[in-house]
Amino acid sequence: MASPESAVNGPTMTAGAASKSLRNAFGGVIAFIILVLIGVLAFSIRLFSVIKYESVIHEFDPYFNYRVTQFLSKNGIYDFWNWFDDRTWYPLGRVIGGTVYPGLTLTAGTIWKVVNSLNIPLSVETVCVFTAPIFSAFASWAAYLLTKEVKGPGAGLTAAALLAMVPSYISRSVAGSYDNEAVAIFALVFTFYLYIKTLNTGSLFYATLNALAYFYMVCSWGGYTFIINLIPMHVLLCIVTGRYSSRLYIAYAPLVVLGTLLASLVPVVGFNAVLTSEHFASFLVFIIIHVVALAYYIKGILSPKMFKVAVTLVVSAGLAVCCAVIAILIAVVASSPTKGWSGRSLTLLDPTYASKYIPIIASVSEHQPPTWPSYFMDINVLAFLVPAGIIACFMPLTDSSSFVILYIVTSVYFSGVMVRLMLVLAPAACILSGIALSEAFNVLTRSIKNRKKEKENVEKKPTPSKTEKRLLVLPLEASVIAVLLLVLLGAFYVVFSVQVHCVWAAAEAYSAPSIVLTSHSNDGGLHVFDDFREAYSWLSHNTDVDDKVASWWDYGYQTTAMANRTVLVDNNTWNNTHIATVGTAMSSPEKQAWEIFHSLDVKYVLVVFGGVVGYPSDDINKFLWMVRIGGGVFPHIKEPDYLRDGQYRIDAQATPTMLNCLMYKLSYFRSDFIPIHKTDGKGFDRVRRTEIGKKHFKLTHFEEVFTTHHWMVRIYKLKPQRNRIRGKTKKSKSSRSVSSKRDVRGKRNPWH
């Protein structure tokens, strides 16, 4: 809202200006109150999981971030940068300081430190759990600022309200989802806001702030490459459509230089900021904008005839030099096999790349393309408000609205490649829907105002009524009011349906911490499955501190964070060969698997099995990925060996390789399942819905040490090598009778 100008025209004007300034101030106060309420809404809608379950960290990745934050809070920042973690990726270890995006952990650590120095005794876990809702409130306010720069405060408030509620963003930022995106989305929207502000005002101060906000984004998330490619694309678009101005230069050039330097400061990016193809677009456009700026400058100081001469001269001489430089550049870039792009970026550009070359990236469920229903689930009503917003951005087309259009188009494409990137689409969709709704309200309220005015004045100047004439085509005056009321009701319905849907989505769909599961029993009671934490606490109480645990990489972060044991592979998935080794071991018969694990000093093997309670994300369902990844590195593992006629089965029709592999045996050992079901020893797998193929077998190289209450996590111990190798001994029979459900305290039995 424009600040009221002091009137010098006379007392009547002063009174009008004073009332206008009063109205402006009143509007400002209302806008502030609305913003505070939006912040409260954004915070509280994400608290369902804390209310329904408890204040616990969710999923897998947040456990790693939590562990890193604990380390940071205990040991300080210097030890954090120099930390070499030897409790993961045994025997390789992992350089944490150099491979983690520090933004999230540093933010939470700073909040914890500040709050504790004010003598508010919050634990690290509490700070970690509630970081995401707080930053989602900040993100809504940043969306308000951004949309205000594009269209005005009304659109800003609508966009902020929508972003506070949109389910896609809620899904990654509930209380307990302590992951990079919690902070990164705020940094993304804030950086875009500062860029647009610099573009609109041309102030170098905002350009500096823009670079610092970009630095915060680089610290927080690997998705910062989206910013450093989108902004050059927009600059190029402005240049090509003839909207070059010196404000564009001020907005872009300092950002590139400062941004590249700041990005190289972050250890995980380092020299990649200048060497990888993800950043080349920014350098290319940097050069282009300098050429264009020089051209405009020379055009400004020369006469038109001289300028034409200059152009012909430059074009003829410069073209040859340009071609030579480009040829050299292409040769340098094409000489590297991936053309300088990283694997994940290549997957974004060519969605089929990962499934052909890097099975690990293809196997992550978040990297799959989304289905159509997930669009309606995640952004709901906004899906059909976005096209209206795009049209509203064209009337009139400014630099900032062209940026928003480019943002929505690119994010729609990328969200179609990976379902995880629906999160980047959410702010864009909210901004455009806010613009659409606000423009609709503007048009209709203006038509009402002018209807009333037209009743009094017969004819005014023709030009203003030209724009209104389009509105006056609406049927009759009374029905204009009716249309407005309809739109209001429709808006309320939209808000309510969005509200109801969003609240439902937040409460039911996205609040599950996935480490604790619930189900409703027949009499309406709630049954809680806390098997994961049961298994991890068993591990931490009953094994030695230095024991190594092997499992599939999904559970690595949780095992190191909660059970505090060394693991072989975890969710970082940076070493494909190591994961393939574990996958091969799981796919091999018992003896070969024992040898592989023994060579890696593994003591315990952890397997997740859902067949007794019907938990669908267990290791048998993930087993084909283990085969594929293992087979990608070790050619003796072939996927067709595990499939009968191209079908994956575990019943009597399964292949012998499948029935003999370690994963099958460890999952279905003691396949009577008697305590839970009355299936009298038939071995019915509730997830696959068949009886299993091989029952009542014995394990020769592993022994079962723990199975959780609902049989969801099963822990096995590697049997030590036999002293006597030749012939069968009675020792194997006696060792089997010793093992029962809750047994073996982890100390070596000298009689084995």
Partner 1 sequence: MGRSSTVKETQALFQSLRSAYAATPNNLKIIDVFVGFAVLTAIIQVVYMAVVGSFPFNSFLSGVLSCIGTAVLAVCLRIQVNKDNKEFKDVAPERAFADFILCNLVLHLVIMNFMG
Residues in contact with partner 1 by CB under 8 A are 202-205, 207-208, 211-212, 245-247, 249-250, 253-254, 257-258, 260-262, 264-265, 271, 274, 293, 298, 300-303, 306, 309-310, 313
Q: What is the largest CA-CA distance in the chain?
A: 114
Q: Tokens 């790693």: give the residue.
A: 64
**Helices (runs of H) and strands (runs of E) counted in the chain:** 33, 11
The least distance separating partner 1 from the CB of residue 252, rounded to whole angstroms, comes to 10
The H or E element spanning position 483 is helix 477-504
- Paired sense of beta strands 548-550 and 604-608, if any: parallel
Q: Which is nearer to partner 1, 34 or 274 (CB)?
A: 274
The least distance separating partner 1 from the CB of residue 323, rounded to whole angstroms, comes to 21
Q: Which is nearer to partner 1, 252 or 625 (CB)?
A: 252
Q: Which is nearer to partner 1, 310 or 491 (CB)?
A: 310
Using alpha carbons, select from 436, 431, 376, 521 the residue that is nearest to residue 144: 431
The least distance separating partner 1 from the CB of residue 316, rounded to whole angstroms, comes to 9
State how far the Cα of 415 lies from the Cα of 408, in Å rounded to an integer. Answer: 10
Q: Tokens 């029905």: give the residue.
A: 479
Task: Name 425's Cβ contacts closer than 8 Å, sequence gap at least 6.
Answer: 168, 379, 408, 411, 412, 414, 415
Q: Which is nearer to partner 1, 297 or 384 (CB)?
A: 297
The least distance separating partner 1 from the CB of residue 266, rounded to whole angstroms, comes to 11
Q: Which is nearer to partner 1, 266 or 662 (CB)?
A: 266
Q: Which is nearer to partner 1, 69 or 260 (CB)?
A: 260
State how far the Cα of 220 lies from the Cα of 481, in Å rounded to an integer. Answer: 49
Q: Which is nearer to partner 1, 230 or 262 (CB)?
A: 262
Dig out the tokens for 106 from the structure: 């540093």
Residue 94's DSSP bridge partners are: 85
Residue 550's DSSP bridge partners are: 605
State how far the Cα of 625 lies from the Cα of 630, in Å rounded to an integer. Answer: 8
Residue type, 279: H
Q: Which is nearer to partner 1, 267 or 746 (CB)?
A: 267
The least distance separating partner 1 from the CB of residue 246, rounded to whole angstroms, comes to 5
State how far the Cα of 752 lies from the Cα of 747, in Å rounded to an integer. Answer: 11
Q: Which is nearer to partner 1, 202 or 343 (CB)?
A: 202
Q: Which is nearer to partner 1, 13 or 291 (CB)?
A: 291
Task: Name 547's Cβ contacts closer than 8 Å, sequence gap at least 6.
Answer: 565, 566, 603, 604, 746
The least distance separating partner 1 from the CB of residue 212, rounded to whole angstroms, comes to 7
The least distance separating partner 1 from the CB of residue 494, rounded to whole angstroms, comes to 39
The least distance separating partner 1 from the CB of residue 205, rounded to whole angstroms, comes to 5
The least distance separating partner 1 from the CB of residue 738, rounded to whole angstroms, comes to 60
Residue 567's DSSP bridge partners are: 549
Task: Name 746's Cβ contacts closer than 8 Å, sequence gap at least 6.
Answer: 542, 543, 544, 547, 705
Question: Residue 480, CB half-sphere, CA atoms under 13 Å: how many?
Answer: 20
Full DSSP string of 644-694 = BTTB---STTS-HHHHHSHHHHHHHSSTT-TTT---TT--EETTTTEE-SS
Q: Which is nearer to partner 1, 293 or 507 (CB)?
A: 293
The least distance separating partner 1 from the CB of residue 315, rounded to whole angstroms, comes to 13
The least distance separating partner 1 from the CB of residue 206, rounded to whole angstroms, comes to 9
End-to-end CA distance of the chain: 82
